[in-house]
Structures are given as structure tokens and as C-alpha cells.
Amino acid sequence: MKAKNKAKLRREIPLYIMLLPAVIIMLIYSYGPMVGNVIAFQRFLPGKGLFGSQYVGLENFLYMFKIPGFWNVIYNTVSI
């Protein structure tokens, strides 16, 4: 029985290799944006990295809403 499973696995290895790029791309596009969500709530400094940067909560978003042209940019984006 074990020899049969090994032969089947050996026969399927090329299929798994062909599947690997699709799985890698799916993981990048699924979990990559989560890094952006973490950075949005930090005072991110590339030198300190993702886990060394200070957590600031909604401070970045409050700053963004206070920029004078922000609502104009939102209107232009939505109207397109």
C-alpha cells in the first residue's frame, strides 16, 4: 500500500509544481493588503520595520481628514 502511495505522489509532483505559482500569487494578493492595514494605524518608519513602529490608532486618518483638499479628492474619485 505504501509503495502505491509513493508512486502516486511521485506521479503528481509535476502537478503540484504547476499549481505552486497560482497559490503564491493568491497568497500575495490575499494577505498583502493586510500589511497595508497594519501600517495605516502606525507611525511607520521603514528603518524600524512593521513591528517596531509606534501604534498611533486613528491619528493618521484624522490628519488626512484635516487636509484642505481631501474632500475634493474624494469627490473627484467617486464622480469618475
pLDDT digits (tens, 9 = 90+) for 22-77: 999 999 999 989 999 999 999 999 999 888 999 999 999 999 999 999 999 999 99
pLDDT confidence of residue 6: 85
Q: How far from the centroid of its chain's Cα atoms is residue 78's Cα? A: 24
Nearest to 60 by CA among 39, 80, 31, 30: 39
> 8-20: per-residue pLDDT in tens?
888 999 999 999 9
Q: Return the pLDDT at 56.
A: 95
pLDDT at 1 over 90: no
- Between 39 and 6, residue with greater pLDDT: 39
Report the distance separating Cα 65 and Cα 29, nearest Å: 28
Bridge partner list, 55: 42
pLDDT band for 80, please (50, 70, 90 cuts): confident
